[in-house]
Amino acid sequence: MLNRVVVTSVGIISPIGLTAKTTWDNLLKGNSGIDQISTFDTNNFETTIAAEVKNFDPIEYFGKKESRRMDRFVQLAGVSTLEAMEDSQVNINSDNATRISVMIASGIGGIITLSEQNEVLFDKGPSRISPFLVPMMLPDMASGQISMMIGAKGPNYSVVSACASSGDTIGLAYEAIKRDDVDIVFAGGSEAAICPIGVAGFSACKALSKCNHDPKSASKPFDIKRDGFVLGEGSAVLVLEKLDHAINRGAKPIAEIVGYGASADAHHITQPAPGGEGGARAMKKALDQASISQNDINYINAHGTSTPLNDKFETMAMKSVFGNQAYKIPINSTKSMIGHLLGASGAIEAAVTALSIKNSMIHPTANLESPDPECDLDYTSGHSKELDINYAMSNSFGFGGHNTSLIFKKYE
């Protein structure tokens, strides 16, 4: 018999909060974390805005020496993990360490460190390169360093599937617990790519919004005036746990995960498949694994990037899966306020989905003022709303044609 898997806590650090509670409260208020980039000179850049994590000092968490040996994406992952661990009250010791796993994804890894060390190479020569360059830039290093930090000795790896990375990670963590490989997984994602080469690269492929004059309204998923996504940074980690294990230690689940579906578009390196065909297959797989029908879903946290093709094709995909029921399901986009966290977006949106179920509330999709006629579903514009949620879906799609869908349910 397969194990049931529950979420017993979440940790979040985001452009609108250094904790899960602050992030959640600001989402419900519709507050945006998008502003002018403050970490480097954006002169000559086509896009000068991003969603930065502000007022964050890693030294307060890790000390000066350790902080210098971590890329920013690892620092952010460490903070969200420590919050999730404290909230879950998981105690790791010699008796249970091998049954506790860490799986933290990153789509890009330590691009800030790589960018900075490239400058050192060209300015000062190869002898001045940091010996920590390679371990700081590797995408798996958040997962590796966190396992050392908390003493977890179970399976440890990092999934890379672009912007679906942490959605896939949570799905694989769910399956590992379900088949009894481990009892607990610290599963999530982290990303910190707001640096000159990161912004210039996404700008070069015409993915970023150029709404520099009004940053707060730049991310406008499903709106006719949307012109690209806003780059964000941050991390989210969910504690996934075998239900029996959680009950035995007195933990209180906030949601249950019951379905995971993944697919490939096999179409284009950046554009989704026409009609969202690949995303629709991922959603259908998740519904099948959860053994529920499309009529059971009460809420969808959409990928909702604010790019012209993604929002259109995701809408088409939801219509193909849910039929007329699609018009009755409340949908929102967390990216409307925190930007696109790339490989970490699936994790933070999964955490938000779990919190939505726990609190019977969903946040608004910000900046949706002139809906695209081709995006004609209920995207929760305006204000947050109370909603009793039995089953919820969270979607993540990535460059390269990666599609992931997760289904959560109210714990009973």
Q: Is pLDDT above 90 for 90?
A: yes
pLDDT of res. 59: 96
pLDDT of res. 367: 97
CB atoms within 10 A of CB 55: 6
Q: Is pLDDT above 90 for 151?
A: yes
User: How far, in Å, CA of 405 to CA of 317, rounded?
Assistant: 12
HEC profile of 309-377: HHHHHHHHHHHHHHHHHHHHCCEECCHHHHCECHHHHHHHHHHHHHHHHHHCEECCECCCCCECCCCCC
Q: Is pLDDT above 90 for 92?
A: yes
Judge whether 131 and 113 are in contact, CB under 8 Å: no
Give me the CATH code for the 260-409 domain, please. Answer: 3.40.47.10
pTM here is 0.97
Eight-class DSSP state of 175: H
Q: Is pLDDT above 90 for 1?
A: no
Same fold for the domain at 5-248 and the one at 260-409?
yes
Q: What is the DSSP string of 62-131?
A: HHHHHHHTS-HHHHHHHHHHHHHHHHHT----TTTGGGEEEEEE-SS-SHHHHHHHHHHHHHH-GGGS-T
Residue range 2-26: mean pLDDT, rounded:
98
Quickly tell me which residue has 């896009």 as its tokens.
Answer: 47
Q: Is pLDDT above 90 for 105?
A: yes
Judge whether 158 and 106 are in contact, CB under 8 Å: yes
pLDDT of res. 241: 98
Residue range 220-245: mean pLDDT, rounded:
98
Judge whether 79 and 235 are in contact, CB under 8 Å: yes
Judge whether 387 and 361 are in contact, CB under 8 Å: yes
Catalytic residues: 163, 303, 340
Taking the domains of the chain in order of start, what are their residue ranges?
5-248, 260-409
Residue range 185-207: mean pLDDT, rounded:
97
The CATH H-level (homologous superfamily) assignment of domain 5-248 is Thiolase/Chalcone synthase (3.40.47.10)
Q: Is pLDDT above 90 for 376?
A: yes
